Amino acid sequence: MGTRPIALIGGLVLSIAACAGTPEAALLKPGSTIPAVWRDSTSAGGGPTLFWVFRTNDCLTCQNLDYQVRRVQRRFGGRLHFVAVHVGSPRDESIPRAYLRERRVRAELRTVSSAEMRRVLPDGAIPAIYLADGALIRWHTRLADDPEKVALRLDHALNELAAPARAKAADSANLAP
């Protein structure tokens, strides 16, 4: 058997593998439903939630991944629910727990296995931030992007998310006797 048939077979196998994918895997984008493995009783309350998705290794490097989360926490405090989605083994959960405590990030910690995350987020764009309102994702970005651009886009998304709440509060104030 020559190299040409082997190359054709290899190409065919790769094509089939690429097309097969995981049936439930889809890119998470604005309008997508929050993955069930990210939710629980507190984050399912329907209010605005910031999901910060990261791997165990991200806690062990010198990256300042939590900057945006802490900045938003200072600005919005209790008006925004924070969920840290740790992608890794449950036995390693003490690592992100210690990281969050050391960095003074107040967030609910959810641990999702790498296999589960591949089904939910097949492109593996981690670390990332997802902003959700109710059960839908409204905005997302990778944290590896330019920090200044991430901050501007995140602030814009948060202002957009807060705009309906401000309008509703203003309408309620106008109806008050």
| pLDDT tens per residue, range 53-71 | 898 888 887 666 678 888 8
pLDDT grade, residue 156 (50/70/90)?
confident
pLDDT level of residue 89 (50, 70, 90 thresholds): very high
Say if 124 falls within a structural domain.
yes
Structure token pair of residue 118? 């591949």
User: What is the dihedral angle through the alpha carbons of 119, 120, 121, 127, rounded to the nearest 10 degrees?
Assistant: -120
Burial class (CB in 10 A: 0-12, 13-18, 19+), 155: middle
Question: What pTM was estimated for this model as a whole?
Answer: 0.72
Task: Work out how many domains the chain is built from and give that number.
Answer: 1
Q: Tell me the two tokens of residue 55.
A: 């791997």
**Does residue 23 sit within a domain?**
no
Rg (CA), the chain: 20
CATH number reported for the structural domain that contains residue 115 in this entry:
3.40.30.10
Token pair in block for residue 92 = 């390693």
